[in-house]
A and B are shown apart, each in its own frame.
Chain A
Amino acid sequence: MTNRHPWMARLSEYVDGELPADERLALERHLETCADCRATVTQLGRVRDLAGTLADREPPRDLWPGIEARIGGAARVLPFGRRWTLTMPQLAAAAALMIVVGAGGAALALRGTGTPVAGPVAVVAPSGDPTVIPATAGAASYDQAVTSLGRVLTEHRDRLDPATVRVLEQSLQTIDRAIARAQEALATDPNDAYLSAHLAETMRQKLNLMRRAAALVAAS
């Protein structure tokens, strides 16, 4: 068999154009005289081409509930819906307010943190509210999440209306200033638990604000 068809084991490589020139030429000389190998070459090519046309199929049942259960229900406390049915400017205003009047806000306000944006005071989230504490995905670090969100917000800012973008950017600047101040203060007073808690809370505010903005982008 191999004697009669010395190239049989290499025909797939031939079909894929992977043979060096000298071997290809020798194989083609054999093909000229061998109808069996010519037929096999045709069939192998058809199998390969057919494989490339196979369609993907949905799983027979919804696999998401099982995944959701395994990635942790805790991460599901997200700020959408329920008590947070706010427009972006309101959210931004709320976030800015939280910086100033939230935990530790008084001290920062005395040092001249940005002016609170006028907004419905009723929406200021209580700092103990579990909905403001997002779980981060797996190994995704805070910085990673903020970087990614910042990137998509920059790339897709045209999907948000200009007023929203303006308020969002102002709020983020305010938050960033607050974070920088807290970090400075912590640098001189590293063991201050109150400052640490305030910094953590402010960082969470930032993440939440960016998430809400990104959710608006995703919904647009």
Chain B
Amino acid sequence: MDDPTPAVDSPKRAVPDDAVDVALAQSGDTQAFERLYRAHVSRVFSLARRMMGPETAEEATQDVFVRAWEKLGSFRGEAAFGTWLHRLAVNLLLSQRARRGRDLARHDPTEDALERRASRGTRPELAMDLETAIGRLPDGARQIFVLHDIEGYKHEEIGDSLGIAVGTSKAQLHRARMLLRSHLEPQTEDRIGP
């Protein structure tokens, strides 16, 4: 039960058959591990970019795969490799964020920026803008929005991972959605209805 992947399955992606490459990588085959990297990097990178921001996403992605290599011995194949990797990535990214949060005493202008953008109105490319808007969410709200609405985690799981109450997770999710809503759909009222 060293496998750190209990109930959480990532609901969105199909799981490729990685078993052979996992076994080879466990025996020290870096070429097999490179194949695993190629198969999963966009998933991990997108998670890192959303949770950490674009500046540190590349390095964080590399950290995730280095850690996965080091931990490969504890992967027992009880879950899909992608699921195991994803959980490992979430845990590592959360701990990196926590460390960075302690290191930097920072003032967070993001919420103001979001409000300003909303009042100015936005372009119609919603999906593209959503990524940008997510990047501008305040840290806590962003992490929880990414984990819940994009990655499909439940509030109970998020609460456990972050060490916060379920109610806090729900409140932050609501805050994130409210901010994104005002950013994405400023003209909704005009457009609604036939």
Residue positions of A touching B, CB distance < 8 A: 9-13, 18, 39-40, 42-44, 46-48, 50-54, 56-61, 63-64, 66-68, 70-71, 75-76, 78, 80, 134-141, 144-146, 148-149, 151-152, 155-156, 207, 210-211, 214-215, 217-218
Contacts and interface: CB of A to CB of B under 8 A. Distances in A.
A9 B172 CA distance: 10
A48 B30 CA distance: 39
Contact of A56 (B27, B42, B188): B42
Chain A binding surface, main DSSP class: helix
Interface string B170-194: 1101100110110011001100100
A148 B150 contact: no
A58 B41 contact: yes
B155 to A, nearest CB: 8
A144 B31 CA distance: 19
B9 to A, nearest CB: 15
Contacts of B23: 145, 148-149, 151-152, 214
Interface in B1-46: 12, 19-35, 37-38, 41-43, 45-46
Given A18-B170, A44-B178, A59-B61, A52 B149 contact: yes
Nearest to A142: B27
A57 B46 contact: yes
Contacts of A75: 28-30
B28 A148 contact: no
A-B residue pairs, 4 tightest by C-beta? A140-B73, A138-B70, A148-B23, A139-B73
B84 interface: no
A82 to B, nearest CB: 13
Nearest to A11: B174
B33 A71 contact: yes
A60 B58 CA distance: 9
Given A54-B130, A138-B72, A211 B24 contact: yes
Given A12-B170, A44-B177, A51-B150, A135 B49 contact: no
B62 A140 contact: no
A47 B62 contact: no
A44 B184 CA distance: 11
Contact of A76 (B21, B30, B65): B30
A129 B188 CA distance: 70
A152 B19 contact: yes
Contacts of A46: 181, 184-185
